[in-house]
Amino acid sequence: MPLRPTQGLRRLYVHDLEMMADIGVYPEEKGVLQPIAVSVDLLVMETEPGADDLAAVVCYATLADEIRSLVTGTRVNLVETLADRIARLCLADGRVRTARVRVEKRAVMPDARAVGVEIERSAP
């Protein structure tokens, strides 16, 4: 279920950002890159409603680049840990009020398209 923006907020999203990650707790997963997909849905404060200027918005291309850098620059055991780190990265921009993050491992179970976790975090 998508986050629903209220007045003064907009919903920004990046869905199914595919990349390879060094993730997993089992010995056969360690040091082996696995396909994952990351989706984020953000509720973002509108700083200048109607402004037609990239500086006035949270840029989804920059966000995607930051997520890629985080994923490829670290090794984690759990999808839960990675989802939390991505949520913290999103909330570091003070305009982001809520971050919903989904991390899916795409090649873990032969009879499932994906397994993973979805979390939601809000700014204090």
Active site (catalytic) residues: 105
CB neighbourhood size of 80 (10 A): 13
20, 35 in Cβ contact below 8 A?
Answer: yes
CB neighbourhood size of 109 (10 A): 10
Q: What does each C-alpha distance from 124 to 21, 91, 94, 104, 109 come to in angstroms?
A: 30, 10, 10, 27, 37
